Amino acid sequence: MENSLSRASGLLQKLSGENLRLAVSLLELLALKEEMEATAEVSADPNLAGQLNVARHSRRQGKYEDYCAWEARHGL
């Protein structure tokens, strides 16, 4: 991945201002596409979607002890 980032950075530096703006717009669209695909993947998993709904409901009720942050469960 590092090689790809270096290559992309080098290519971006060679672009004119207008083409650089176009490239950044394309990158933003690609990032949004990945976010949307990840959201769809989470939504399609009934177990995970259920867990998120339970946590969301608990938070709205102020019951913070009813759920544990993902980072805490995974040691992050």
Tell me the C-alpha distance between 11 and 5, whole Å. 10
- What residues contact 75, with CB distance under 8 A and at least 6 apart? none
Tell me the C-alpha distance between 46 and 53, whole Å. 10
Residue 75, pLDDT score: 67
Mean pLDDT by 10 residues, the chain (76 residues): 90 96 97 95 87 86 73 67
Report whether 69 contacts 61 (CB < 8 A).
Answer: no
- What residues contact 42, with CB distance under 8 A and at least 6 apart? 48, 49, 52
